[in-house]
Amino acid sequence: MNGAAGGSLTAGVISSTGLYTAPAAAPAGPVTVTAQSLAQSSATATATVTIITPAPPSVSVSLSPSSTSLQVGQSQQFVATVTGTGNTSVSWSVNGVSGGNTTVGTISPSGLYSAPAAVPSVALTVTAQSLAQSTAKATAIVTLTTPTVSVSLSPTNPSLQVGQSLQFSAKVTGASNSGVNWLVSNTVGGTPALGTISATGLYTAPAAVPNAAVIVTAQSTASPSSVASTSVSLTTPVAHHVDLSWTASASSSTAGYNLYRGTQASGPFTKINSALDTATVYTDSTVVSGQTYYYTTTAADSSGSESPYSNVAQAVIP
């Protein structure tokens, strides 16, 4: 080989039977193989061998999905397929950053992309690069959006009396954080004049009807611009009373009467007058709206002895 018996590592080697093995790398010049007669050394024949470097394997990478749209904070599994080589491993990057970062999102060695907490100011691309051939790569486009957060409020447009309380509830959709801030007429927690509201949505009306409108608002803590509001009508309670009258006792020993009240027709009854009533009329001003009361009387003598209960009268308070 090139004048060297049996060849060399640079030009290639040839066996005694004429089997030529090319070198690992193409030499700078041509390679000449010579066969020389052992009977007559001047008798030779020569062949020229051209050594070429084989073209590298054609490696390609495909990526699935090739594009995706996500909300901030969500994840997407990417799958890279490598052909043309036995080494199917890839490296992952986001916008050219290996593994990504908190601004553009991160991607794991298995291709799981996790979007950042906020939409970045740059376009996003995920790239899978072949470890067998660095020029073989595939890129996917990622579009990020901010979720639409909405708040609903219950009850709506309620009416209650001054001094009373009402439990509100709020539902937040479009955000993993379901927390809300409670406001009364744009003031967190409310005011004594317009009513106060707790962190759990319990509204307590003021002691008097205010001159200004009362608006209860639930504001999303995840998206402060997302709110739900409702007006609250406040009223002053109507004073109710029950006027009672009865027929006077025929007994000459009667010194006066006691009035009794209960919540059932069969009793028990509780005396409601503080002193013996010498008249046959009485006004009960301690009744509550929405209740039903039952009344009865007894006649008492000067020593305090009382007659049995009279007949029972019913009063329904609107």
Element (H, E) at 83: strand 79-83
Q: Which fold has domain 242-316?
A: Immunoglobulin-like (2.60.40)
Banded pLDDT at 28 (limits 50, 70, 90) = confident
**Which of 42, 51, 43, 38 shows the shortest CA–CA distance to 2?**
51
Q: What is the dihedral of CA 102, 104, 105, 107, to 10 degrees?
A: -110
Decide if 150-235 and 242-316 have a common fold.
yes
pLDDT tens-digit readout, 105-145: 999 999 999 999 999 999 999 999 999 999 999 999 999 99
- What local confidence, expressed as pLDDT, does residue 239 receive? 86
User: Residue 1 pLDDT more than 90?
Assistant: no
Average pLDDT, the chain: 94
Rg (CA), the chain: 49
Per-residue pLDDT, averaged over 191-202, amounts to 97
Domain map of the chain by residue range? 7-49, 60-145, 150-235, 242-316
H-type alpha helices, the chain: none
Residue 172 has a pLDDT of 96
Three-state secondary structure call for residue 31: strand
211 contact partners, CB below 8 Å, separation of at least 6: none
pLDDT above 90: percentage of residues in the chain: 83
Inform me whether the pLDDT recorded for 275 exceeds 90.
yes
β partners of residue 150: 173
Specify the CATH number for 60-145; select among 2.60.40.60, 1.10.10.10, 2.60.120.620, 3.40.190.10.
2.60.40.60
Average pLDDT over residues 296-306: 95
Q: Tell me which of 194 and 7 has the higher pLDDT.
A: 194
DSSP state of 258: E
Q: Which of 76, 223, 71, 73 is nearest to 147 (CA)?
A: 71
The pLDDT of residue 147 is 83
| Listed residue (14, 13, 128, 142) closest to 81, CA to CA | 128
Residues ≥6 apart with Cβ < 8 Å to 197: 168, 182, 183, 184, 189, 190, 203, 204, 216
pLDDT tens-digit readout, 151-189: 999 999 999 999 999 999 999 998 889 999 999 999 999
Q: Is the pLDDT of residue 230 over 90?
A: yes
Those residues with Cβ within 8 angstroms of residue 47's Cβ, 6 or more apart along the chain or in another chain = 32, 33, 34
Q: What is the pTM of this model?
A: 0.47
As a whole number, mean pLDDT of residues 202-206 equals 97
Q: Could you confirm whether domain 150-235 is CATH 2.60.40.1080?
A: yes
